Structure 1
Amino acid sequence: MTAIDDLIAAGRALVDAGLSPGSSGNVSVRAGDRILMSGTGTRLGALQPADIAELSPEGAHLSGARPSKEVSLHVALYAKNPTHRAVVHVHSPSAVALSCLEPWSAHSAIPPLTPYALMRVGQTPLLSFVAPGDPAMGALITDSPYTFRAALLANHGAVISGEDAATAVDSTVELEEACRIALLTEGKPRRLIPAHDIAAITERWGMPWTDPADQ
């Protein structure tokens, strides 16, 4: 498959999973020294090659469709995770809902309730609100002191990167499930995964997690 095929398949997978209502959300892949990104206003489940924008690593529009206004999110997350080749941004229901609540902790808006979120996502900080499309969205990622492959954008949604497009989609699905479980248990006496197990799981799976004692 080509990078364009990967991008189109990722868009369809996100819609099939119920994570990209209407024309919301965007997805990109890195191909050599270029970023290929879904164009503004496109429906991710019906992407065609003509709907894809070609960008420089810095986010300059080179050719193709007009890129999403949230280019800065993608560029910043690629810079934060240089080995990752795909970025997904969604307005999925549970991620948006949890992004409207106060975070569980500074390093992760989502509490450690299931091993699967720790295995596939790791810590997910809540980034401060800025209006969609504001270039400051990228600065929130760049300036964060935490390592992460996923973050919640306050009152907005989520952004996730992965080693390839399929991994980024899988992480997005797991993130949405983790947010749903966090919402279902909100306000109840939760039983969290013990700290030593969190450390063992995230280390084994290579996922970021900050020990509060190190903050």
Structure 2
Amino acid sequence: MSDGRMIFEREREDLAKIVKLIFTRKNTNVAGGNFSFLATDETGKDFIIMTPTMMSEAYLGDLSAAQILVVNPDNREIVSGVGSLTREINMHQAVYRTNSKIRAVLHAHAPNAMFWATTGLTMPNLTEATQKVGSMPVMKFAPNCSEELAVITSTYIRENQLPVPHMLLLDSHGVLINATGKTGMEAIHKALSILDTVEWNAEIAYKQAIFQALGITDKFHSKGEDIASLDDLKQNIAIYNHTEIGAGGD
């Protein structure tokens, strides 16, 4: 930049802080995770602001703004940033191409949500804070970073015309949260909020399932209603409260 500042400096500082926060909250681990959002330059061109490969294993989530990458989506060239591009760019770019409203993609290894991702069952969505996310199904398995995984996730989003925001569970791998906003920075903050609140929901859903198995309760309960049973869970029916989302909060 002519004024001596990094390109997209504010955006990169923000993402570095988000990475540290996600690690502090233990919503991902040293096995990985990668986060990105779109930022627009003065000409109107979008660039991908993205975490580098090895952000978890090598740097333990403690990144500087200079380590956050600015990527040209046309050719995957790193325009600015110290580090290498993760192969998970396959999935991020595929997701962005499904819907122009998606401005942020967050993939993490949140432990309670990963429990549901290993069961093959759609996670029951029971809390008011997560109601807007709707169904949280498990995708067909494909190896991490593979083009196959990118195709599976993007095809599911496109064919089901998923509203934004939404969240998918990656079989034995983690969570994928896609969010919208007036800017990419706003969208990544919404994705962060979903990651945090879904972790609470994942534990609550597990405990409600245990209570039913023990005979303490009969149904999954959400917002004053009994909405489903263990049989619905076993049949992999999407369990969430379909009533209108309240006006309060976000």
Q: Determine helix, strand or coil for the equivalent of 1:31.
A: strand
Structure 1 residue 17 displacement after superposition: 1.6
1:49 to 65, 71, 74: 65
Q: Determine helix, strand or coil for the equivalent of 2:176.
A: strand
Which residue of the partner structure matches residue 219 of structure 2? 190
Moved more, 59-68 or 15-24: 59-68
TM-score normalized by structure 2?
Answer: 0.70
Moved more, 134-143 or 79-88: 79-88
Q: Determine helix, strand or coil for the equivalent of 1:143.
A: helix
1:172 to 185, 189, 195: 195
Q: Is the 8 A contact 1:3 1:29 kept in 2?
A: no
- Cα 1:90–1:118 change in 2 (3 A) is same
1:150 to 136, 160, 167: 167
Structure 1 residue 57 displacement after superposition: 2.9
Q: Is the 8 A contact 2:28 2:108 kept in 1?
A: yes
Deviations 1:97-129 (A, max 9, x none): 1101132xxxxx12232222113x222221111
CA distance in 2: counterparts of 1:6 and 1:197, whole angstroms: 33
Is 1:18–2:26 an aligned residue pair? yes
Which residue of the partner structure matches residue 97 of structure 1? 115
Q: For the aligned residues, what is the CA RMSD?
A: 2.6
* Percent of residue pairs identical: 23
User: Tell me, which stretches of 5 or more residues in structure 2 are unaligned?
Assistant: 1-8, 41-45, 182-186, 213-217, 228-239
May I ask how many residue pairs the two structures share in their alignment?
Answer: 199
Quick one: which amino acid aligns to residue 165 of structure 1?
A: I
Deviations 1:137-182 (A, max 9, x none): 1111221132152100011100112232211111111122222222
Deviations 1:42-96 (A, max 9, x none): 1363111332233233572334321122112212222334223222111111111
Moved more, 93-102 or 22-31: 22-31
Which residue of the partner structure matches residue 181 of structure 1? 204
CA distance in 1: counterparts of 2:49 and 2:64, whole angstroms: 12
Q: Determine helix, strand or coil for the equivalent of 1:141.
A: helix
User: Tell me, which stretches of 5 or more residues in structure 1 are unaligned?
Assistant: 104-108, 208-215
Is 1:76–2:105 an aligned residue pair? no
Is 1:60–2:66 an aligned residue pair? no
- Cα 1:58–1:31 change in 2 (3 A) is same
Deviations 1:170-210 (A, max 9, x none): 111112222222222235243344579524128x69x9xxx
CA distance in 2: counterparts of 1:38 and 1:48, whole angstroms: 10
Q: Is the 8 A contact 1:26 1:89 kept in 2?
A: yes
Q: Determine helix, strand or coil for the equivalent of 2:203.
A: helix
Quick one: which amino acid aligns to residue 16 of structure 1?
A: T
Moved more, 132-141 or 74-83: 74-83
Higher alpha-carbon Rg: 2
